Amino acid sequence: MGSNNPLSLRKKVAREAAHLLYFGVEKEYKQAKLKAAKTFGVHFLPTNLEVVIEFDRIAEETEGVTRKKRLIQMRKQALKLMGILKPYNPVLIGSVWRGTIHRESDIDITVYTDKPNEILEVIKQNTLRVMRTEWMTVTKEGLKKTSFHIYVELPTKEKAEVIVRSPEEADYKERCEIYGDTITGLDVQKLEKILHENPAQRFVPY
């Protein structure tokens, strides 16, 4: 393929956008894609999936074998935190669930209760360092959803974000804006099984 081939150029734009995201030049996919398109002087934008595939490749090239080791370690740490939060039906989501972590990744866990302060107390009682908390409201599919976020530092110095959602949302399956699939995540039982059978297993639609 020549360098001006549309497919080759599209991949280059996706790669540039992924590079901007990986090295922290841009935080949002849209801005990264716009800047990458401008760099190459094109008027098309790659999809989020095309960008994330390139992002994954950059992470693998840059971090090598340590990436897989850290993923397994982070999943083990996630299981410990989920064990503390077990009465609240914790679910591991994000890049630690997907198996696509990179050097800046943290552990994302969702719990379901209408008593966020209770979750905060449970975390503090287990001598984990709470760095900060915040309420967040997002609009998805025309509906406003509010959640309470607790940012925690684990004994291993890994960071975790515990997202407290309403119990009514427990059965709601959200579509991923990056991968385009359904965010299922892993509960305690499924995570234990993965760690036993295939600790670095990936959950991506490609």
pLDDT tens sequence across 60-114? 999 999 999 999 999 999 999 999 999 999 999 999 999 999 999 999 999 999 9
| CATH code: domain of residue 161 | 3.30.460
Distances (CA, A) of 45 to 16, 27, 28, 58: 11, 17, 14, 19
Place of tokens 């905060």: 120
- Amino acid sitting at position 164: V
54 and 73 within one domain: no
Instruction: Give the residue-averaged pLDDT of 142-154.
Output: 92
163 and 115 within one domain: yes
146: left (phi over 0), alpha (psi -120 to 50) or beta: beta
* Residue that terminates a domain, selected from 63, 88, 110: 63
* Cα–Cα nearest to 93, from 201, 206, 166, 187: 187
- 202, part of any domain: no
117 and 29 within one domain: no
* Residue that terminates a domain, selected from 63, 79, 107: 63
What is the reported pTM? 0.91
- Amino acid sitting at position 5: N
User: Could you say which DSSP state residue 111 is in?
Assistant: E
In the chain, % of residues over pLDDT 90? 87
- The per-residue pLDDT for 2 is 44
70 and 53 within one domain: no
What angle separates helix 48-63 from helix 65-84, to the nearest 10 degrees?
110
Statement: residue 1 has pLDDT above 50: no
- How are beta strands 91-93 and 129-140 bridged, if at all? unpaired
Number of domains in the chain: 2
The answer to whether the beta carbons of residues 113 and 106 sit under 8 Å apart is no
- Amino acid sitting at position 83: G
| Confidence category of residue 172, pLDDT binned at 50, 70, 90 | confident
Mean pLDDT of the chain: 94
129 and 168 within one domain: yes
What angle separates helix 29-40 from helix 48-63, to the nearest 10 degrees?
90
